[in-house]
Amino acid sequence: MALFATIPNATRTLRVLARLLSYPDEATRAHLDEMSTALSSEAALSATRLAEVQALMNAIASTSPLEVEAEYVELFDRGRATSLHLFEHVHGDSRDRGPAMVDLLQSYERAGLYLAPHELPDYLPVVLEFASTQPPREARALLAEIAHLLNALFAALRKRHGAYASVIGALIELAGEEQQAVNLGPDEALDASWEEPPVFGGCSVLGQARPGRAQDIPQPIHIVRKTSASEGVQA
């Protein structure tokens, strides 16, 4: 069921959400006011979702940096169920993960976007940064393809009482989907139901549209547009 009659332009919103899911370093905390303004001005989220995400940003701003960073690490780096690496939920440590990474990376490159060497293509903030360069319809289609993973991640974060669930809930809304109950297995093992739907559907919507212009929102990753075979210019 679609939550919007028309598909909203969520370019800046996706970039803000990507940044909020990245490590809450000093640079991120310094731009919280700017990110809040971007979310409000673009108005891609419902009032309820916007209030939830704003509450998270307020909590980050009002909590000591060490506590915020420790909470982030505990939430996202201490178990597979809340991993922000999407292929962790689909392939785990199997040999299929490598080829899937290559396929996704090639999808980015076909769109003219190149990741820095240290960035993994299945990292959710990277996926969101890519989605932000696509027209609204393609961006929503991409989010819809990973909605089953977003629902699982949302359920896992809610189970651990993580305020970051608000960001995942916002992404589900932008996908035009509704939250669905997910039966979570033990944190160390993948729920077998996660493995069935192919993430990105073979990357069917990736690399099909020309990237848009970068906005002046702080970037959660470093994507460069290759200008020649030997060098690139940072986007």
What pLDDT is attached to residue 78?
A: 79
Decide: 80 and 190 in contact? Cβ < 8 Å.
Answer: yes
In tens digits, the chain (235 residues) has pLDDT values of 444 457 889 999 999 999 999 999 999 999 999 999 999 999 999 999 999 999 999 999 999 999 999 999 999 987 788 999 887 766 455 565 666 667 777 888 887 888 888 888 888 999 999 999 999 999 999 999 989 889 999 999 998 888 999 999 999 999 998 876 555 455 454 344 344 445 555 444 443 333 444 444 444 444 444 554 444 433 3
- Tell me the C-alpha distance between 221 and 156, whole Å: 24
The rounded radius of gyration (Å) of the Cα atoms in the chain is 17
What pLDDT is attached to residue 114?
A: 83
Decide: 176 and 144 in contact? Cβ < 8 Å.
Answer: yes
Q: What angle do CA 144, 149, 153 make, to 5 degrees?
A: 125
- Tell me the C-alpha distance between 227 and 217, whole Å: 23
Q: How many other CB atoms are found less than 10 A from the CB of residue 123?
A: 22
Q: What is the pTM of this model?
A: 0.75
Helix, strand, or coil (residue 108): helix
